[in-house]
Amino acid sequence: MEDDLFQRRSKLATAGVAESVEQEQEAKVLVLYTGGTIGMRTNRNGVYEPEADYLIPELKKLPIFHDKSYAEEQLMEEEKDLLVMPVMRSGRRVKYHIKEYNPLLDSSNMNMNDWSKIANDISTFYDDYDGFVILHGTDTMAYTASALSFMCENLGKPIVLTGSQIPIFEVRSDGRDNFLSALVVAGQFLIPEVLVLFGNKVLRGNRTIKNDSGSFDAFISPNIAAIADLETDITVDWAHVFRSGTTEKFRIHSEMCPNVGLLRLFPGISVQLVRSFLQPPTQGVVLQSYGAGNAPDNRPELLKAIEEAINIGVIIVNITQCTRGYVDAAYATGKALYDKGVIPGGDMTAEAALTKLSYVLGKANWSIKTKSKMMERNLRGEVQAIRKEDISLQDFELIDSVAKALSISTKEETIKLREALYPNLMCAAAKSNDVQALERLRNTGGNLSAGNQDGRTALHVAAREGHHAVVQYLLHHGATVYSKDQHDHTPLNDAIISKHHQIITLLVRTGAHLTMHPIRIAMELCSAAARDEVSTLQAWKLAGADLNVSDYDKRTPLHVAVSTKKMSAVRYLLGNDARWDTKDIFENTAEMQAKKPGYEEIHELIQQKIREEKSGIPDSEDLQQAQIKHD
């Protein structure tokens, strides 16, 4: 019904506005350009150097990065600083804004304050974009990616770091592909992780190391497979995507502790060196030991130095010097460390262990015990906590029997079958309020955020049906609140349509926000006002809508409520700060309409509101009641 109304009204609207309302198959990405080779130029001395105000104007000249005619004809005035990619095969278009940092840095010159700056920018603009790209030098990209993965708590959107080995405007460059792919991934795939995209791989940021100083495949994640492969198709391993699994909103923790260090053992390392390393102000050390976590157990003075540091509150985490593998207390030489209180760091990279330590030590209100416990815990997919055998797809009973019935035999076909079946099974379980069925599906490898053929997820369905327990279950297990179905509806839209106020509140608390064009929101609100549907107005308000938005005629919900004499809506709107003096395109205000004969009751309500505003004291019981009801 709402959609019908939308279409009818769109036809009435001027062509330009109608089109801009319909442009919702677009993703918006914020690019934070911090520096790195990707935007560098050769300076007078013949070496690469970052150059300010160079990248953006040059990118605007390349059609693959910027569809100039679309930008000129279709972008609204306030969007004029955006760059627009051409339409992709999926039918989507990515619009992006580049925020250039000053100064631009070679990443070797970056420090912890730069990580905080990036985290703060993401936090400031989090609700305005679908995803984030960080253009960054390759040298310390693995550190920044690891640090951001911890600093960004309850992340629900993709943050993709990329850069290049050759500057983007040189004839041969990996920068163009890397940047374009990063925009596509950030704009199209709701992977709620900090990622590193390089060459044809998308890797979990806190599992990544720079492995080659000259290759176009410079990065690897030695202990886990890639999150996505960029081949002819982009294949995301959804079962493998890390999800925060809380109902808390995105936030950042930007106070990192600088008093941390990496200590790499070598045969014959002196005890003086170890002691001086562990001196105050040191608060945490990542010890890079041999093989499966071994250190000499025939050097009591060394173990004593470690023990003394731990006793005064230094946290020491043990990881391996090997590129691949994990620390294991199976050897006596490793066990000697754990007996002294060293924390086993599993299969963490040095970059992840160091930044995790800095993050954990930066939590002022955590005790040393909590900090140590957190170092052992898997916080963002940076460490394999439990080693369990990989579950084979063939183990999934249901899929197995359907596969047999359909005479499916290859692994690829089975994967396709599972991708087709699971989202629908999960939607069905959500519809019938069956948390147990969802739990079974999840335990057999189902991705709770996967959409069915219409892009609907279990969360969309549960929100529409008003199944509060299912919504809670899904959010607790990391289902994303940001997925859009084929009509660009998020679960929040479903909860609004069915007026489930409690679910709206829960979704908003988890970070959901309105993504519709303001004119379309205004039309929904005006239409609710015309129908005198206060609970619909309340639903939109709970979801974060501004009750003073105006439609294409600049009419607000109050204009409509007044002119159609919908008393409940008028009372509710006036009780919730709706303005009576906003002018529509015909220069009419709601107050002017109320002055006409036949509107006396409404006129009196508005006059009360005006008196109240002048005196600062509420004098209308009616309006107070509307307010109380809403609260």
Of 37, 144, 457, 589, the active-site residue reads 37
CA dist 223 and 382 (Å) reads: 10
Tell which positions 2-41 bind ligand ASN, by CB under 6 A.
35-37
Rounded distance, CA 577 to CA 598, Å? Answer: 24
| Contact assessment for residue 583 and residue 554, using Cβ atoms and an 8 Å cutoff | yes
Minimum CB separation of residue 263 from ligand ASN in Å reads 24
Q: Pick the stretch among 100-108, 186-194, 408-416, 519-527 that binds ligand ASN (CB under 6 A).
A: 100-108
In the complex with ligand ASN, which residue's Cβ is closer, 138 or 149? 138
Q: Considering the complex, state which of residue 37 and residue 289 has its C-beta at the smaller distance from ligand ASN.
A: 37
Tokens representing residue 58 in the block: 């040059």
Among 2, 22, 106, 546, indicate the residue that binds ligand ASN (CB under 6 A). 106
Shortest distance (Å) from residue 198 CB to ligand ASN: 10
| Nearer Cβ to ligand ASN (105/195) | 105
Place of tokens 């936030």: 251
By C-beta, is 139 or 465 nearer to ligand ASN? 139
Map residues 109-148 to x or -, x wherever contact with ligand ASN holds by CB under 6 A: ----------------------------xxx---------
Q: How far is the CB of 101 from ligand ASN (least distance, A)?
A: 12
CA distance linking residue 36 with residue 56, whole number of Å: 15
Long-range contacts of 440-448 (CB under 8 A, 24+ apart): 442/477, 444/391, 444/395, 444/396, 444/397, 444/398, 445/239, 445/391, 445/393, 445/396, 445/418, 446/422, 447/238, 447/239, 447/241, 447/422, 447/423, 448/243, 448/474, 448/477, 448/478, 448/479
What lies within 8 Å, CB to CB, of 509 at 6+ separation is: 247, 248, 249
Task: Look up residue 90 and give its amino acid.
Answer: S
Among positions 69, 102, 108, 365, the unique one binding ligand ASN when judged by CB under 6 A: 108
Q: Which of 10, 107, 178, 527 binds ligand ASN (CB under 6 A)?
A: 107
Residues 6+ apart with CB under 8 A from 208: 141, 142, 145, 146, 196, 219, 220, 221, 349, 351
The verdict on whether 37 is a catalytic residue reads yes
Q: 570 in helix, strand or coil?
A: helix
User: Which of 148, 253, 261, 245 shows the shortest CA–CA distance to 196?
Assistant: 148
Radius of gyration for the alpha carbons in the chain, expressed in angstroms and rounded: 28
CA distance 92 to 346: 41
Report the residue number, 139 or 553, with the smaller CB distance to ligand ASN: 139
For residue 294, which phi and psi values (nearest 5 degrees)?
-95, 145
Q: Is 510 in the site for ligand ASN (CB under 6 A)?
A: no
- Binding-site size, ligand ASN (CB under 6 A): 11
Site string for ligand ASN, 147-186 (x = CB under 6 A): ----------------x-x---------------------
Please identify, among the stretches 24-32, 78-86, 106-114, 578-586, the one whose residues bind ligand ASN according to the rule CB under 6 A.
106-114
Which range binds ligand ASN by CB under 6 A, 61-69, 91-99, 101-109, 359-367? 101-109
Q: Where in 67-96 is the site for ligand ASN (CB under 6 A)?
A: none
**Min separation Cβ 200 and ligand ASN, Å:** 17
Footprint of ligand ASN (CB under 6 A): 35-37, 106-108, 137-139, 163, 165
Q: So which residues are the catalytic ones? A: 37
